[in-house]
Amino acid sequence: MKKLHTLLFSASLLMGVAAHAQLKVEIAGVGSNQIPVAVAAFADESVAPEQVSAIIRADLERSGVFKVIDARQTISDTANVDLAAFKASGADALVVGSVQRLADGRFQVRYKLLDTVKKSQLSQLSDAVSARNTRLEGHRIADDVYEKLTGVRGIFATRISYVKQDPAARDYKLVIADADGEGEQVAAHGREPIISPSWSPDGTKVAYVSFELRKPVIYVQNLVTGQRTVVANEKGNNSAPAWSPDGTRLALALSKTGNTQIWVVNADGSGLRRVSSSSGIDTEPQFAADGQTIYFTSDRSGGPQIYKMSVSGGQATRVTFHGNYNISPRISPDGKTLAWISQRDGGFSLYAMDLASGQEQRLADGATEPSFSPNGKYIMYATRGGGRTALAVVSVDGRVKQRLSTQAGNIREPSWGPFMK
Amino acid sequence: MRNAKSVAFIVAAAALLSACSSTKLQEAPKVEEKPVAQAPAPAADNREIRPVETATVDPLNDPKGVLANRSVYFDFDSYVVRDDGKAVVENHSAYLTKNKQRKVLIQGNTDERGGTEYNLALGQKRAEAVRKSMAALGVADSQLEAVSLGKEKPKATGHDEAAWAENRRADIVYQ
């Protein structure tokens, strides 16, 4: 209980730091075996518009992997540090750094990661960034700390897309934000529903479904130029776009034959061909990491279940067997884990399955529309609460949960973007 | 809402009527005064009849007509046109077979429960059931398109059985 209080306290401190946050981070659980890391304030960091050390601290805390210790002092990357003292305070590693305003208006951000046990330097970065990219630089440093201490690439500098809607006002937005919910930017805005955004593997485009032509039509939008391409506007429904891992093709659900079936099309809209052939519903295609297998939802056995089949067609193999309603398959980037939504005991829950063993784990309740983080360690999903939908994140082991709640509006349909260069 | 639609219809119909009559007036022969000195024109045959078409109201625009009902309702987890929806399907099929230039979008809907894309596919099944019934009654394929709005555009915004029943529906939308 005491631990919980401490956590809630530090979580509220974090919220104080991110006072203008578009989405609030609420930590509802903690991971075991957290790595204790001390983060010092960076020398002269007040010259930059964002407090870099606070961003790093918030990111590391949010991951659930670290026990973040406030160093309660400013330590520059050039300072001689008494690492033994930090070891004594319980920290295995220490983050120090500095910020300097350059003559051209940019900021030089330097950081070092120090090992208090081996009394050595684990990593360092030095980047000159524009004022608006100081937040991003904080996320990049947090990614570096995460990777050096866990061996897994961090996702703090990645972005997410989601739909923000106010149906009563007929207001629908496709929004892009940082993975922590900061820096919201509207990519598309209209008076008809937008659903099913899917981020291209290179991070420059988002495919989505818009109802602006009074029916679902699939568009691919270049986020940088704003250019939109109609990828599929066939007779009937056009929906559920999903990119191939190499970004050259999209799997789709089309109803041009009467019933909803899986099709594949080139990213420019050419070369449309049918993949599945059943007499019922086949929808929600997802490419596996190998680019050769497609997982999808089908009602061929009655209720919806998850199946897989070759992208070149042929026999489908059933993947889910428990429960009468299994939908929205998502495959982890390493291809080993299936995340999906299952209706059991009335409610909709997020499940994960180890594909090799078939072992299932229930990760979260009241969940729809899951999306894996690019490092495969987290799953974002839409959740209902307080009469509206918001986003939440759970670690794939189910130990760390965060709710990203909003001040206003319904947020749904998250798609976690890829690693960016 | 329905009253507003009726008023809009009456205004539109009135506008249409007045537009028609003014056109007819312009087409009527003009009376011209001519000098008396000229040779008298041959007298018009005052027993001649020039027929005029009266304005007809498209039954589709009759707010009290059978075509005003454009919604077909479905039972929970069902994709079969119920008996109470058959008249709606028959009336619109009869109109479409007589008016082959008209096209309709059949928009299927679902209640709010369940996944976005799976609901979209379920709504499609409802729209497709209506489309097939209309095709069986002789409506040309080129006049029909079955699509789905899934759970995205609920007519009833509540979260109870009454709202869900209202949203398990396919609408016939004229284009």
Does residue A14 lie within any of the structural domains?
Answer: no
Does residue A6 lie within any of the structural domains?
Answer: no
Domain that holds residue B75: 60-174
Q: Can you tell me the mean pLDDT for A172-195?
A: 93
Does residue B22 lie within any of the structural domains?
Answer: no
Is B120 in Cβ contact with A283 (below 8 Å)?
yes
Measured CA to CA, the distance from residue A261 to residue A283 in angstroms comes to 6
Whether pLDDT at A284 is above 80: yes
Best mutation site among B119, B147, B173 for testing chain A: the one with the most A CBs within 10 Å?
A: B147
A355 and A224 housed in the same domain: yes
Does residue B19 lie within any of the structural domains?
Answer: no
Q: Which residues of B touch A193 (CB under 8 A)?
A: 149, 152-153
Q: Which residues of A touch B122 (CB under 8 A)?
A: 281
Strand partners for A371: A380
User: Angle, to 10 degrees, between the axis of helix A52-63 and the axis of helix A134-150?
Assistant: 40
- CATH number assigned to the domain comprising residue A341: 2.120.10.30
Is A369 in Cβ contact with B116 (below 8 Å)?
yes
- How much is the pLDDT for A223? 96
Does residue B70 lie within any of the structural domains?
Answer: yes
Looking at chain B, the number of H-run helices and the number of E-run strands are 4, 4
Whether pLDDT at B46 is above 90: no
What percent of chain B clears pLDDT 70, i.e. is strictly above it?
75
Whether pLDDT at A369 is above 90: yes
Number of domains forming the structure of chain B: 1
pLDDT band at B40 (very low <50, low <70, confident <90, very high): low
A367 and A233 housed in the same domain: yes
A228 and A313 housed in the same domain: yes
Does residue A77 lie within any of the structural domains?
Answer: yes
Q: Which residues contact A365 (CB under 8 A, 6 or more apart)?
A: A347, A348, A349, A350
The whole-angstrom distance between B77's CA and the closest CA on chain A is 10
- How much is the pLDDT for A99? 98
**Closest Cα in chain B to A261:** B121
Does residue B23 lie within any of the structural domains?
Answer: no
Does residue A306 lie within any of the structural domains?
Answer: yes
Question: What is each CA distance from A278 to A258, A262, B91, in whole angstroms?
Answer: 11, 10, 32
Number of domains forming the structure of chain A: 2
Whether pLDDT at A31 is above 80: no
Of A84-93, A222-231, B20-29, the least confident? B20-29
Say which of A168, A237, A343 has its CB closest to residue B147: A237
Spatial strand order in the sheet of A410-416: A185-190, A171-178, A159-166, A410-416
Whether pLDDT at B16 is above 70: no
Question: What is each CA distance from A157 to A134, A160, A377, in whole angstroms?
Answer: 11, 10, 15
A164 and A143 housed in the same domain: no
The dihedral through the CA atoms of A58, A60, A65, A68 has a sign that is negative
- How much is the pLDDT for A30? 57
Does residue A42 lie within any of the structural domains?
Answer: yes
Is A195 in Cβ contact with B116 (below 8 Å)?
yes
- Residue (of B102, B150, B157) closest to A216 by Cα position: B150
pTM for the predicted model, two decimal places: 0.85
A95 and A182 housed in the same domain: no
Rounded to 5°, the CA angle B88-B94-B97 comes to 135
Whether pLDDT at B28 is above 60: no
Average pLDDT across chain A, whole number? 90
A89 and A210 housed in the same domain: no
A121 and A172 housed in the same domain: no
A114 and A177 housed in the same domain: no
**Closest Cα in chain B to A298:** B118
Does residue B24 lie within any of the structural domains?
Answer: no
Of A159-173, A237-251, B28-42, B56-70, the least confident? B28-42
Of A388-392, B26-30, B128-132, the least confident? B26-30
A101 and A134 housed in the same domain: yes
Q: Can you tell me the mean pLDDT for A343-363?
A: 94
Listed residues A119, A150, A181: the one ending a domain: A150
Q: Which amino acid is at B116?
A: T
Does residue A223 lie within any of the structural domains?
Answer: yes
- How much is the pLDDT for A196? 97
**Closest Cα in chain A to B143:** A235
Q: Which residues of B touch A325 (CB under 8 A)?
A: 114
Spatial strand order in the sheet of A261-266: A238-243, A249-254, A261-266, A273-274
Of A68-72, A172-176, B114-118, the least confident? A68-72
- How much is the pLDDT for B37? 61
A262 and A371 housed in the same domain: yes
A185 and A50 housed in the same domain: no
Listed residues A150, A176, A201: the one ending a domain: A150
Whether pLDDT at A406 is above 90: no
pLDDT, tens digit (0-9, with 9 covering 90-100), for B102-152 = 999 999 999 999 999 999 999 999 999 999 999 999 999 999 999 999 999
The whole-angstrom distance between A129's CA and the closest CA on chain B is 40
- CATH number assigned to the domain comprising residue B98: 3.30.1330.60
Does residue A421 lie within any of the structural domains?
Answer: no
- Expressed in angstroms, the distance from the first to the final Cα of chain A is 42
Domain that holds residue A366: 159-416
pLDDT, tens digit (0-9, with 9 covering 90-100), for A99-140 = 999 999 999 999 999 999 999 999 999 999 999 999 999 999
Spatial strand order in the sheet of B104-109: B71-73, B169-174, B104-109, B144-150
- CATH number assigned to the domain comprising residue A109: 3.40.50.10070
pLDDT band at B54 (very low <50, low <70, confident <90, very high): confident
DSSP-assigned letters across all residues of B88-120: HHHHHHHHHHH-TT--EEEEEE--S-S-HHHHH
Measured CA to CA, the distance from residue A91 to residue A83 in angstroms comes to 9
Q: Which of A312-321, B22-31, B57-66 has the highest mean pLDDT?
A: A312-321
Listed residues A150, A173, A205: the one ending a domain: A150
- How much is the pLDDT for A400? 87
A131 and A169 housed in the same domain: no
ipTM exceeding 0.95? no
Does residue A319 lie within any of the structural domains?
Answer: yes
